[in-house]
Structure 1
Amino acid sequence: MRVVLGLLLLLLGPCGSGAQGEDGGPGEVGEINTFLEAGPRDEGDEQTEQTTKQTTPDIWAEVRAVRDMVVELQVELRNMEARVKYSEGQVNQLKTELIVTKVHVEQLQRETSVQEIRLTAIESKTRDLEEENADLQTRLSSSESRIDQLERKNAEKPKVAFYTALTEAGNVGPYNTDITLKYSKVFTNIGNAYNPATGFFTAPVNGVYYLQFTVCGSKKLYMAVFLYKNNQRIMYNHKVKEGGELDYFTNSVVLELKAGDEIHLDLPSDHAVFDDRNNYSTFSGSLLFPL
């Protein structure tokens, strides 16, 4: 039992009263011997003392080895603590970078959401424009079709228009009977519906026609004209001349005519009209639209 206590003292106090030397001098052995001599000694104790003396150097070697191991462990512990602190610094830095990355990701997510909203709005506007464009294309096609129809109708529509003047001879009349006025100076005769040899305008197609005449007089006489449709008198215009100056009257009609209907102007008996190179007396007409 005393040997065990001596070993414990050696292990617990390698640097206490053992300041005597690294090799474990007489002081350390003396303390053990003194401790062992404190009680009564017998033959067994003497044998134990001899065994202790023999094993003490080995114990000190083990103690020194343990101490060296502890020192190495302390050094390694300090190194590990330094590495842990370095690792903690790296971890903190990574945490900071992670936070920054999260903020950046959140910002990118917000920007992405805004872009998605804008993209959705653009897509909606694009669809609206496409629908509007399709509607415009449909309307354009319809308009083009109508234009084609109108062009075809216009191409098929007969074109009728004439403009004439009476004569360059001066006074015409008075006569004892009514005569048909033959407007011999033809300026326009689209459709060749007016015949200057007879003074008759013949409607080439069914339709509504606009007809106009101007009558000039130079003598102190009545000036007048009859407007006939076939043999039907449609209009009578006259005016009394009071002096030698020229005088005029003008009138017009809109008539529905069938193809073949004839229009002409007659000079009543005892009346006179005047015309010369200035074309004072004229007769004109045109097709407004066919029926």
Structure 2
Amino acid sequence: MESSHTISIRIFFVFIFWTYSSVKADLNENRDENTDWKWAVKTIQELEQKVKVQDERIATLEKRPTGSDWTSMVDLKKTIQKQNDRIIMLEDRIYELEATSEVENNDSIKESSPLREIIPHSEKQTDQAKSSPVRKGRLLIQPTTVPFDRVAFYAYFSSDILASMDNYILPFNTVVTNVGNAYHPHSGTFIAPRSGLYVFTWTIRAYGSRYHSTQLLVDNNVINTIYINPNSVIDGSVTGTAVVHVDQGDDVFIRTFPPNSGEIISGNNGRSSFCGWSLM
């Protein structure tokens, strides 16, 4: 049997719980019927959602690089590309010099041989011309048969080439003349072997809806610019020429420049080409 005191306590808690439930129900009922309350709750929820969206957008913007960061990245990529191109050119030049040195060393050994004193001069020349494969090879190597101070080159595109990008260096890949081996067809760049006055000329062919603007650059300085736009009427070409002083080691090349669109045409009916030579 529970004591009367315990029963009283239980009755008291039941009464409190019933009272709390009734008040809560009345409050919920009044709140649900109050339109202002509903509007306030809805507005708060919308504001909370907007704040959440704005926080996400701010976080995204903070992660994006600034305009100066983009500029620095682009400049860095251009510098790296230029250095890579220059390394390739210098490697080619080293290879050419090593090949020339090897041929000259072989000739020096032959000229210092004791047989040179025994065989008459005319007989030695005849014998070397007929039997020496090194001598025959040298006749085909222009840098060893022409004085180094004489520089000239001529190259053209073997076929049409897509050149719609801006600032694209045109690699005229078919070399006809390369006295001094200063023109590098894989990159389309001429590296001056000595300082002096040079003449450069280039021709660009186009037809149909293609149009192109190209520039001659010496040590990254624009020297001359030409433009062709057949306007779907003619098949034609345009030529640019410049006489300019070039310092030893300067790069000389042709690049695209806006506006440009489509292929540069080169074929049997007309070549797109690049050439140059030293004056003095």
TM-score by length of 2: 0.44
In terms of Rg, which structure is larger? 1
TM-score by length of 1: 0.43
